[in-house]
Chain A
């Protein structure tokens, strides 16, 4: 819808105008019916805007066939160079704007967003409804003409207005609420109890963590039992096959266009080579170049044939849907419930740390955040771990912490929610941050995010979640609290094992991040030290006045 269209006199139905009402020209005569029709039409238009923009974007994402670039390369560039994420982010923003606008419009005539656009719904609210910055008092339309009321009855029937997508979503939600959430402690009652038990300053976090984690479970079920996840290995194999087939097909045309020496057996070797087609083209070029006969015509012929090969290759690749793998939902739910039981009893809040940082922390008697480090310490960190601590980073980190609900003067130390067994039991939840890990006491102030709160983590489940992508604040819609974090952990564990089983590649989050506000050293339960650091650490502790106290907390991890 263009802004021009919005400038037309509104609130006048065409019918009214045609009937010769005063509204036909000049002064607009506002009628309720006219307004309703206008709002209905605008909702349809807004939806149509979204569809058109997305269709345009989707067309743009398809690599132009004329370019002759292999689908595999185009798709790699799209996924790995961040375009996929950016497109998804922008689409998310547009969808959010469209939804919000539809909802505001629907409220004008007493409807609810999602009740079926373009249809009249009876207003429920003889109340004040905020619209943009204005507040308009509305009164219920009590009397309707019998014909309008009958029409509404007809159009309001849920089965008439539910699209297949909406039905699928509703059925999924019903299934989750009945079969999945109760055993995970994700019901409304669980939510109310958790909120009541949470410290006052964490209640808001507790509340939205339930919505977030329900969305995670839903996205997980959708990804793994409905859409299916892409088996990349099979996809690559298919592309290699398609490349080779297209290569075999195009060779006679190269033979017709160029004179070159290549035995049948050498050509067969090239057919078997993953990079054979490029080598084939290179060979022709080099022979011409050696003879001094390569010219623009040869160049153009090569490009044309190369493009033809590219198109043929594209046509020979199978549709992405062929490579999607999924499991029956009952199987997933059983695995999720089982994993949740296991995580509930076997988890730890860990902080991975290097041995030098550990010694500095114990010596100084407090945890320091990166914001408290001296310039020298920042430089050491940069040199040793290649982590850049820029003022931009610190600023963004602070903004993220504000958004996650921490107070201005909170010193947030980052850890992870780890399995207490298996690999994480031996290495901690975030081993890239150090070989040693501390196991911390639980605390009602601790919050969690599914993945790093600062960076986005990509996993099939997280990709399916309905994020409001804001480049600066990435953690909020992945925030979990208390028991809901254990559910996130269980989902991530099951996602890891199921994806590995289905595709041979493990998908999932890097970790469930734990944000620990103002931890004191007496919250350390155990210091887990790999055997190879035992001597160094024990020697270091002898230099501390309270070294003996810390020695008691050391727990060596045998090789």
Chain B
């Protein structure tokens, strides 16, 4: 059995369709537990007061925003190399989810920044590259809508995705190699000394898992929707051609 079997739209729907609702339930449970734990059961931080509770929304949304683009990059490359339509449609399906996560990360970051940094916004490396990533999401979605021919749209959006990946990577790693930024280092890291204290880390990990499960469920559901929408367009075009011949 080959992974490319799932590039068949029918196979994709019959295989992954039944997974959507269970994944939604898992995401819902993880989010209720992780966010509820973080909001109700964690203490204030010495430096940040109760604003530390914003990390349970801000960090997972930023994580998903960046990794959604990386997922779109992979599926776009699969489209460019192997010309599997489902792959291009999966990238298209993930973009609005990534966009919303980017907006959440930007807005919650700004709300947190005002009392903590004394400003809603700073033109520093991580924030700026994240804002550019947001603009790439907008451009990517607009391009899909603007180009009527599906293969051309998939080609052009794949090119945009490759270019935008620079900013997805930058927004993740900018704090590591540009020291002049306001944004603090990683809240999560494989290096235990680097990430937040355990009392915040555990509910944060559950929230992260919830956001990731929600992302996977939404992308599967939206990819199936894109496949069906493409089928509708094809059937309508066929009917129009038949009418024209008659």
Q: State whether these chains interact.
A: no
Which A residues are within 8 Å of any B CB, using their own CB? none
Which B residues are within 8 Å of any A CB, using their own CB? none
